[in-house]
Amino acid sequence: LAIASPTQGLVPVSNPSQSSRNHDVTPSSGPDRRVFLQSAALLSTTLLMPTTPALAMTEFQKVLLPVVRISNELAEIKTLVREKSNWSKALALLQDAKYEKANFKKAFNQVGDNFAGNAGADGGTPKNEQTVAYMARNEILTRTEDLRAELEYLIKNEDDTADLYKYADSAATAMGRYLGLLPPAEIDQARLALR
């Protein structure tokens, strides 16, 4: 019988069938007792250790968190607007301070600026890529503002929902295009941190 140890691999433990005939739970003195105590100590520390190590986030991933949070919310809003009973919840999400133009641009600009500063060995992100990112940000902002205005209107007035669905779809699609400009591994790490 062996117990897994994160530092020493498998640690042998005496076989219970080889223990004393009277099934005494206290191992005898000697090597078996020492192995038992070492194994018990390792097992207790192994059980007390967290199952997943703490995420060590890069500065870029930290800056990316608000944008990924917005992405997650836009995906949720896209689903919420399909049911009229969820419109108030969708609107409440869109009325959060992070969707105000200045806050929204600031979050996305930090990602764009940080991404440009963290480019690989090629010396930096080409200026046109950063420009494309800012254009994508502006498209997301416009679609989000349209979506919020349409929701506000429809909550007060009965009308056709085609524009509402179109705005929700286009906001989520624009966000997908924006995230497509960024390193997928960084986005995945930021998403993990938000769980």
Among 25-29, 48-52, 73-77, 178-182, which range has the highest average pLDDT? Answer: 73-77
Q: Is the pTM of this model over 0.75?
A: no
Structure tokens at 75: 């995906």
Q: Which pLDDT does position 127 carry in this prediction? A: 67
37 has a pLDDT exceeding 90: no
Mean pLDDT throughout 23-49? 51
8 has a pLDDT exceeding 50: no
49 against 123, higher pLDDT: 123
33 has a pLDDT exceeding 80: no
Q: Which pLDDT does position 38 carry in this prediction? A: 60
